[in-house]
Amino acid sequence: MEIKRRDFLKGIAGGAALALAQPALALAREKSRLPDAVGILYDATLCIGCKACMVGCRKANNLPAETIGPQKLWDNPIDLSARTLNIIKKYVSGTGEYKDREINGFSFIKRHCMHCVDPACVSACPASAMTKDKKIGIVSYNKDACIGCRYCQVACPFNIPKFEWDNPFPQIVKCQLCNHLLAKGELPGCCDACPTGASLFGPAAALLEEAKRRQKMQPGSYYDFPVSTITSGKIQYQQAAQYIPRIYGENEVGGAQVLMLAGVPFEKLGLPDLPSGSYVALAENIQHTLYKGMILPIVAFGGLIFLVKRSDKNKE
Instruction: By CB under 6 A, name the binding residues for ligand SF4.
Output: 47-53, 56-57, 60-61, 85-86, 88, 108, 110, 112-116, 119-121, 139, 156, 158, 160-161, 174-175, 177-178, 188-190, 193-194, 196, 198-199
Q: How far is the CB of 89 from ligand SF4 (least distance, A)?
A: 10
Q: How far is the CB of 167 from ligand SF4 (least distance, A)?
A: 19
- Closest CB to ligand SF4 among residues 53, 282: 53
**What's the number of CA atoms in the CB half-sphere (13 Å) around residue 179?**
18
- Closest CB to ligand SF4 among residues 145, 305: 145
Closest CA to 117 of 98, 134, 100: 134
Phi, psi of 17 (to 5 degrees): -65, -40
CA 160 to chain centre: 6
Q: How far is the CB of 102 from ligand SF4 (least distance, A)?
A: 19
- Closest CB to ligand SF4 among residues 8, 296: 8
The type of residue at 116 is C
Question: Do the Cβ atoms of 41 and 210 come closer than 8 Å?
Answer: yes
Q: How far is the CB of 151 from ligand SF4 (least distance, A)?
A: 11
- Closest CB to ligand SF4 among residues 31, 310: 31
- Closest CB to ligand SF4 among residues 19, 53: 53
**What's the number of CA atoms in the CB half-sphere (13 Å) around residue 172?**
31
How many CB atoms are closer than 10 A to CB 245? 5
- Closest CB to ligand SF4 among residues 267, 316: 267
Q: How far is the CB of 14 from ligand SF4 (least distance, A)?
A: 8
- Closest CB to ligand SF4 among residues 21, 296: 21
Question: Do the Cβ atoms of 131 and 142 come closer than 8 Å?
Answer: yes
Distance CA 102, CA 264 (A): 5
Distance CA 138, CA 34 (A): 10
Residue 83 to residues 32, 52, 66, 68, 79: CA-CA distances in angstroms?
A: 31, 16, 7, 13, 10
Distance CA 291, CA 298 (A): 9
Alpha-carbon dihedral 293, 294, 300, 303, rounded to 10 degrees = -40
Q: How far is the CB of 293 from ligand SF4 (least distance, A)?
A: 31
Q: How far is the CB of 100 from ligand SF4 (least distance, A)?
A: 13
Q: How far is the CB of 164 from ligand SF4 (least distance, A)?
A: 16
| Spatial strand order in the sheet of 87-92 | 87-92, 105-111, 98-99
Number of helices followed by number of strands (H, E) in the chain: 9, 14
- Closest CB to ligand SF4 among residues 244, 256: 256
